[in-house]
Structure formats: structure tokens, C-alpha cells
Amino acid sequence: MTTLLAFAFVLGVLVFVHELGHFMMARWHGVRVFTFSLGFGPKLLSVKRGDTEYAISAIPLGGYVKMAGENAEDQRTGADDEFLSKTKWQRFQILIMGPVMNLALAVILMAVVLMQGAEIPSYQDQPVAVGVVEAGSAAESAGVRPGDVILEVGGDDVPSWDKFLMAIGTRAGRDVELTVMRDGREERFKVRPASQGRFEIGDIGVLPDVYPSVASLVSGGRAEEAGLQRGDVIVAINDQRVVFSQDVVNLISKNRAAPMLLRVRRGGADQVITVQPPKESDGGLIGITIANETVTFRPGPLEAVGLSVERNIEFSGLILKTLWGLVVGETSPRQLMGPVGIAQLSGESAQAGWVALFALMASISLNLGLLNLMPVPVLDGGHILIMGLEAVARRDFSIQVKEKMFLAGFMLLMLLMVTVIYNDLTRISWIERLMPWRN
């Protein structure tokens, strides 16, 4: 139930904002609006105010604003309040305002999320210095070593771990060239990121050059008795390198009651401390709290808006690059997500809290705005493209030509919809088990 309610809320808000953009601009330019509907198909609820019917319809995968004289095949009187009676500039404003509202909503929501502040990993904004290359990973096969600094992925600069993870994440199952700085000179490696998780995010198996540290000690616990101190940096356990706090937790839990050799860094020098877990302890607990190095981030309102704009521009570039990658075959269609996937993420985000839900809404709103600007007939961007071509040709296209263009766009969208729904279904384990070709 949480998933359905969260999905209805997310999609309802995004569709409402999009259609509200068209509606307000149409009314601004004096265009008569017959219907403002959330959803398609049969109307479940409706109320009429003036000339406009406001409705909630049965199929909740979009919405529409029906304007007078909107299409050439509509019965027209030539009245000034019909859509096609307006200038091309006025029609352009009406068409583009839907996507613009989605983009504006993405900026507002992201700014609200950023204002809440967060603790982010300290390495996230640092250069991509490789601390660990996982055994059997794509990076190990390609020849990447600890100490390498990754400069580029597929010719694109990756000045930080944040940008590196985004660049690699969209290239699962595709060969990509890494530019690496090693011993003062640049070297290049071909690597194929493996697919990880239900959304098949690309991963090459490299971890940052960071270590967890001791955040606190239980008084009288085995760690304190052995000589560990708050602030000690844990380098390795039983000669096994650790990177994140979860690595320490996993190794201690697996160790049970056997003595452990903890290599710690204190005052710039390494030393080995032997810790004997209590035999009666479940999982070998030694009375220690481990933390990753983080940076507290809490911008003010104006700074949050500026950062939101920057992040949305950055994410927009990534989205457009991903879409282009689909066209040229560099991005797997498996990474696309449809309504079922959005519903799952909505439910998970709602359970995590409103901040996570708003962050998801910002991301989807940005995607929705950019998608509708694509020059595909039946989308807002397609209508704008056709209008632009008519302006260049200095004549309106015939109804037959437009119908063929819209049919091509519709077929493309249906192919996309089938693809994303198939992807969504394969991410549901019990449904995937019913697909013999997936097993």
C-alpha cells in the first residue's frame, strides 16, 4: 500500500505540474481550454468550472490539456481563442511551458533536499586515487593497480569519485577506455564494467584510498583492553585491507572468538594490536564503533538553489549522454526504468523519509522535463520541431504528413514503453523466474 500511495503521489504531482504549465500559458494567451485531466481514458471524477472540465482519469500514466482548435483536424471556427489561431511564438510558449515547469520543480525540490544537509563521504569530491582493486574484477583484468589515479573515462574527465561513479555506472557491459596516471605518466586501459544490482549499474571493482576509524570504545571492552584508542585509523584486519566501516564489521563478525591482528595508524605511524574477542560473544563483538570519514554539508537557502541548479545541469548532461548512448549503442537499454520501477523506488523512498522521496521526485521531474523536450512527434519537443520546420518551409504541413510523423513518434514511444516495462518486470524475482530465457 505504501508503494502504491507513494507512486500515486509522485506521479500525480509531476503530471499536475507539467500540465499546469501548459494550462497557465494557454490561458495567459487567451486559448480556451476544454479539459485539464490527470490520467488518460475514462474519467473517474470530473468537475466543470467555466469552459474547462477538470478530471481525474482511469489510466494514471500521464495527463493532458485539451485546447480549442488544437489540431488541424479539429473543427475550427477561426476564433481568436483557438490554439492554431495564435502565432507560432505563442504556441511555442504554450508547448514548452510543461517541460519548463518540470525542470523548475526539479530545481526547487533538489534545493529543499540540499537545505536539509547531509554527511557525505570525504573521498566523494577527491581525485579518483585507487586504494583497492578487487580480486577478479574488470579493473584487475585490465591491469589497473592500487596507487593509480583515474583521469578520464571514455574520453570524459572524471576529477572526482562522484563523477567517476556516474561515468562508469552508465556503461555496464560496454568496453570503455580509462586514462590513468601511474608513476607520473599517463597510461590507457580497456575495461568492461560489470553489471551490478537490479538496475545494472556499471562497476569495475576499484575502491578509494581511504580507511575507517575508531569512533568510540565501550568502556572495559576487549578493544579498549587491547589498547585501541578513539581516532585510531584501521588499516587492515589479519592482513586484509579495509576501506569502509562495513568491511571492519564483516571481518569481526566472521572472526568469532579467534584472536585478531588489527593494523592501526596512530600519529602517522602504523602498529599492530592483538584483540581477543570474548568467547561468549555472538559474532566476536569487541566493543568498538567504526566510522567512515565524512564531511558535513548544510548550505543556506541561496547556496542550496545555486547548488541545485548546478547539479541539475550536471545531471541533465548525464541524461542526454545516456540517451545518445542508447542511439549509438554505448548504453544498455537494461538501465531504463518504467512505471513499475518508479513505483518500487517511490515506495522505498517513502519508507526512507520525505527527504529521500523529494530527491527521487526531483530526479524523475528532471527526466520527465528533458524527455518531453526530445524532438519526437507526439511529445512536446516533437510538436515544437514540426512547428519549427513549418516556419522554415514557410507553409504548414498537410494533415496526412503530420499523421505519418505522429504515427512514427507513437510507435517509437510504444517500443520504448515495452522495453522499460520488460526491464521492470525482470527486476521482480518471481516474475523473472517465469521467463525461461532469463534463467
Residue 70 is classified by DSSP as: -
Handedness of CA 344, 345, 346, 350 (dihedral sign): positive
Asked whether residue 112 falls in the same domain as residue 122, the answer is no
- Answer whether 369's CB lies under 8 Å from 100's CB: yes
Per the domain annotation, does 86 fall within a domain?
A: yes
Is there a single domain that holds both residue 109 and residue 175? no
- Domain interval for residue 390: 2-116+352-438
As a whole number, mean pLDDT of residues 57-81 equals 82
Query: Which range, of 70-79, 106-115, 137-146, 274-283, averages the lowest pLDDT?
Result: 274-283
- Please tell me whether residues 175 and 96 are part of one structural domain: no
Cα distance from N-terminal residue to C-terminal residue, the chain: 30
Residue 437: the pLDDT is 67
Of residues 430 and 63, more confidently modeled: 63
User: Domain check: are 232 and 166 in the same one?
Assistant: no
What would the grid cell of residue 319 be?
Answer: 541524461
pTM as predicted: 0.79
**Residues, the chain, total?**
439
Same domain? For 359 and 379 the reply is yes
Whether residue 323 lies inside any domain: the answer is no
- We report the CATH number of the domain holding residue 160 as 2.30.42.10
* Whether residue 233 sits in one domain with residue 261: yes
Domain contains 309? no
The span from the CA of 163 to the CA of 183, in Å, is 23
* 304 within some domain: no
Does residue 112 share a domain with residue 18? Answer: yes
Higher-confidence position of 277 and 361: 361
Is 40 a residue whose pLDDT tops 50?
yes
Q: Are residues 109 and 122 in the same domain?
A: no
The answer, yes or no, to whether residue 356 has pLDDT greater than 90, is no
Instruction: Verify that 8 and 77 share a domain, yes or no.
Output: yes
Tell me the average pLDDT across 310-338. 78
**Which letter, b or e, does each residue of 306-323 get, where b requires 16 or more Cβ atoms within 10 Å of its Cβ?**
ebbeebbeebbeebebbe
User: Of 157-161, 318-322, 389-393, where does mean pLDDT reach its minimum?
Assistant: 318-322
Q: What percent of the chain has pLDDT over 90?
A: 36
Specify which of 87-96, 215-224, 316-325, 391-400 reaches the highest per-range mean pLDDT: 87-96
Q: Which uninterrupted H or E stretch holds 66?
A: strand 52-67
- What are the grid coordinates assigned to 153, written together? 573515462
Question: What pLDDT score was predicted for residue 94?
Answer: 95
Per the CB < 8 A criterion, the answer to whether 113 and 359 are in contact is yes
**Range with the poorest average pLDDT among 4-8, 100-104, 366-370:** 4-8
Q: Looking at the structure, do residues 21 and 95 belong to the same domain, yes or no?
A: yes
Q: Which range is least confidently modeled, 38-52, 73-87, 88-102?
A: 73-87
Single-letter code of the amino acid located at 437 = W
Mean pLDDT across the stretch 77-82? 84
Q: What is the pLDDT of residue 144?
A: 93
Structural domain ending residue among the three candidates 240, 263, 292: 292
Which has the closest alpha carbon to 335: 151, 166, 112, 211?
166
**Domain final position from 276, 292, 308:** 292
What torsion do the CA atoms of 188, 194, 200, 202 make, to the nearest 10 degrees? -20
Sequence-ordered list of residues with C-beta below 8 angstroms from that of 312, at least 6 positions apart, any chain: 103, 106, 107, 110, 362, 366
- Residue 174 sits at φ, ψ, to 5 deg, of -125, 140
pLDDT at residue 106, rounded to an integer = 96
Selected residue with higher pLDDT from 340 and 419: 419
Examine the domain organization and report whether 128 and 107 are in the same domain.
Answer: no
The residue among 89 and 201 whose pLDDT is bigger is: 89
- Cα–Cα distance for residue pair 204/136, rounded to 1 Å: 10
**385-428 confidence digits (pLDDT tens):** 988 888 888 888 887 888 888 888 888 888 877 877 777 777 76
Residue 66 lies in a domain: yes
- Sequence-ordered list of residues with C-beta below 8 angstroms from that of 198, at least 6 positions apart, any chain: 427
Q: Which of 75-79, 114-118, 273-277, 390-394 has the lowest mean pLDDT?
A: 75-79
For residue range 109-127, what is the model confidence (pLDDT) as tens digits? 999 999 988 778 888 889 9
Instruction: Decide if 184 is inside a domain.
Output: yes
pLDDT of residue 130: 93
pLDDT at position 283: 45
Q: What is the mean pLDDT of residues 35-46?
A: 91
Compute the mean pLDDT over every residue in the chain, rounded to the nearest whole number. 86
Whether 101 maps to a domain, the answer reads: yes
pLDDT at position 426, please? Answer: 73
The whole-angstrom separation of Cα 434 and Cα 439 is 9
Q: 3-state DSSP helix/strand/coil percent for the chain, to nearest 5?
A: 45, 25, 30
The confidence band for 155, taking pLDDT boundaries of 50, 70 and 90, is confident
Torsion of CA 238, 244, 246, 252, to 10 degrees: 20
Q: Which of 86-95, 198-207, 313-322, 389-398 has the highest mean pLDDT?
A: 86-95
Number of domains in the chain: 3
- Does residue 176 sit within a domain? yes
DSSP 8-state class, residue 198 = T
> What does DSSP say about strands 288-291 and 52-67: parallel, antiparallel, or unpaired?
unpaired
Q: Is the model more confident about 197 or about 231?
A: 231
Phi, psi torsion values for 199, nearest 5 degrees: -100, 10
Q: Are residues 189 and 259 in the same domain?
A: no
Question: Would you say residue 247 has pLDDT above 80?
Answer: yes
End-of-domain residue from the set 292, 309, 330: 292
Return the closest-CA partner of residue 284 out of 244, 241, 237, 234.
237
In the predicted model, what is the mean pLDDT of residues 229-240? Answer: 90
Which residues, 6+ apart, have CB-to-CB distance to 69 below 8 Å?
Answer: 76, 77, 79, 82, 83, 84, 85
Between 393 and 35, whose confidence is greater? 35
pLDDT at 278: 76
